[in-house]
Amino acid sequence: MDLLRLKSFLVLAETLHFGRAAARLGIAQPHLSRRIRDLEAEIGVSLFTRSQRRVELTAAGATLRLRATRIVEEVEKAKIEARQVGTGAAGRLRIGFIHSSTYGMLPAIIRSFRAMRPAVMLDLVEMTMVEQVRALRAGDIDIGLLRSLPDVPDIAFETVLREPFRLAVPADHGFAGRRSVALREMSGQPLVLFPRETSPLFHARITAAFERAAVTPVIVQEATQIHTVMGLVAAGIGLALVPSSAERLPRAGAVLIDLVDPPEPADVSVAWRAASRPLLVPPFLDAAHEAAKGLEEPGTPAKVATRPAHRKQRS
């Protein structure tokens, strides 16, 4: 059924006057008459009764008017929604996130993004960094919020926050009263470490820092999540190097200390598929950088990452 004919029918059904309806539509009256005849021929019934004095809807015309009004409204709504999705003003964004981002970064990003794009639906899924890379490649998520990646050819990312590592020690440890500790002082100390398989960035940067300090770490336990690592430290299992966001966790029984020679920072980044960047990535990046500024409070060690002047997809 031709949408233009339906719209013409609705205008005539409202005015019940061919001349006024044609004027409103901006067409000649014979053109309008032809549209109505074509619509009646398509349906197979008369929609109007016509006389020299008046035009009236038939019962069939009244029925069509009800349905046609809804059809035209739905079509217009569909056009608006499609336009919004096509321009990034609306739609659905599937986001994978690491658990540690819930300590402050993720809530701040979501608040900022929702203020910018209130019509966008968000699907949030907690995943490890490795799981996010797989999900991005498979198209199961649109964006990942994770620690910076090693070189991954098909994944692009932009760093939004840089968290320095700090030393977590049991509250009754000899280091607990210190303001800072050098890595060389950790020789022989038991260490709780993030596993390479699930936390490649943490593992690589921590082990590289020990190598620079000429210290061979004594790894007694591995754990993936920061809150788990902090719990193991509080239990006296060992010491650990953790990102500064661990400050926001309940940590009874554990103390955080500055490192004289810390590893490279634990970056927080936004990642997406390099081959097809979703339209909502730029506003999400804007929200992430805005959130990072809010987390860079006086006295806190986290630093906002320098934003590239021109974003390029890494490949």
- The phi and psi torsions of 15 (rounded to 5 degrees) equal -85, -30
Using pLDDT thresholds of 50, 70 and 90, give the confidence band for residue 299: very low
* Residue that terminates a domain, selected from 87, 107, 125: 87
Q: What is the CATH number of the domain that holds 189?
A: 3.40.190.10
DSSP state of 269: E
Q: What is the pLDDT of residue 311?
A: 45
9 against 309, higher pLDDT: 9
Q: Are residues 154 and 291 in the same domain?
A: yes
Of 87, 109, 136, which residue sits at a domain end? 87
**Residue 133 confidence (pLDDT):** 92
What would the pLDDT profile of 175-233 be if each residue is shown by its tens digit? 999 999 999 999 999 999 999 988 888 999 999 999 999 999 999 999 989 999 999 99
* Chain position carrying tokens 């198209």: 139
Look at residue 309 and tell me if it is in a domain. Answer: no
Give the separation between CA 170 and CA 230, rounded to whole angstroms: 9
Q: Does one domain contain both 202 and 147?
A: no
Instruction: Give tens-digit pLDDT for 56-89.
Output: 999 999 999 999 999 988 888 777 677 766 666 5
Give the tens place of pLDDT for each residue, 242-297.
Answer: 999 898 888 789 999 999 999 999 889 999 999 887 888 999 999 999 998 877 54
Q: CA–CA distance from 162 to each of 86, 108, 159 (Å)?
A: 33, 16, 8
Residues 153 and 296 in one domain: yes
Decide if 124 is inside a domain.
yes
Does 61 share its domain with 124? Answer: no
**pLDDT at residue 314, as a whole number:** 38
CA-to-CA distance for 163 and 291, rounded, in angstroms? 14
Given a cut of 80, is residue 149 above it in pLDDT?
Answer: no
Residue 309 above 50 pLDDT? no
Residue 238 lies in a domain: yes
Question: In angstroms, rounded to a whole number, what is the distance separating the alpha carbons of residues 202 and 266?
Answer: 7
Q: What is the pLDDT of residue 67?
A: 92
Single-letter amino acid, residue 294: G
pLDDT band at 11 (very low <50, low <70, confident <90, very high): very high
Q: Is the pLDDT of residue 313 over 80?
A: no
Type of residue numbered 247 = E
Q: How far apart are CA 111 and CA 291, in angstroms?
A: 9
Question: Do 39 and 173 lie in a common domain?
Answer: no
My answer on whether 39 and 64 are in the same domain is yes
Clarify whether residues 179 and 58 are in a common domain: no
The string of DSSP letters for 128-190 reads -HHHHHHHHHHTS-SEEEEEPPS--TTEEEEEEEEEPEEEEEETTSTTTT-SEE-GGGGTT-E
Residue 149: both structure tokens together: 């990646």
Per-residue pLDDT tens over the stretch 176-192: 999 999 999 999 999 99
Q: Are 116 and 283 in contact (CB under 8 A)?
A: yes
Q: Are residues 253 and 272 in the same domain?
A: no
- Is the pLDDT at 306 greater than 60, yes or no? no
Q: Do the domain assignments include residue 312?
A: no
Say yes or no to pLDDT of 152 above 70.
Answer: yes
Over residues 164-171, the mean pLDDT reads 96
CA 285 – CA 158 distance, rounded (Å): 8
Same domain, 12 and 69: yes
pLDDT-above-90 percentage for the chain: 68
Decide if 313 is inside a domain. Answer: no
Query: Is residue 281 one of the residues assigned to a domain?
Result: yes
Same domain, 10 and 41: yes
pLDDT of residue 312: 41
Whether residue 314 lies inside any domain: the answer is no
Q: Examine residue 310 and state whether it is found in any structural domain, yes or no.
A: no
Tokens 């649109």 correspond to what residue?
142
Percent of residues in the chain assigned helix, strand, coil, to nearest 5: 45, 25, 35
Q: Over range 17-28, report the average pLDDT.
A: 94
Contact 214, 269 (CB under 8 A): no
Residue-averaged pLDDT of the chain: 88
Residues 61, 24 share a domain: yes
Q: What percent of the chain has pLDDT over 70?
A: 90
The enclosing domain of 69 has a CATH number of: 1.10.10.10
- Predicted pLDDT of residue 199: 85
Distance CA 146, CA 166 (A): 19
Nearest to 261 by CA among 207, 305, 191, 210: 210
* DSSP 8-class letter at 239: B
Instruction: Please classify residue 87 by burial: count the beta carbons closer than 10 Å to its beta carbon, then call 0-12 exposed, 13-18 middle and 19+ buried.
Output: exposed
Asked if residue 40 and residue 106 are part of one domain, the reply reads no
User: Is residue 313 exposed (0-12), middle (13-18) or buried (19+ Cβ within 10 Å)?
Assistant: middle
Q: How many domains does the chain have?
A: 3
Rounded-to-integer distance, Cα 47 and Cα 9, Å: 9
pLDDT band at 15 (very low <50, low <70, confident <90, very high): very high
In the prediction, which pLDDT does 153 show? 82
Token pair belonging to 94: 């599937």
Q: Which of 37, 68, 87 is the last residue of a domain?
A: 87
Q: Which domain holds residue 109?
A: 91-162+267-304
Q: pLDDT by residue (tens digit) across 82-139? A: 776 666 655 889 999 998 888 888 999 999 999 988 988 999 999 988 899 999 999 9
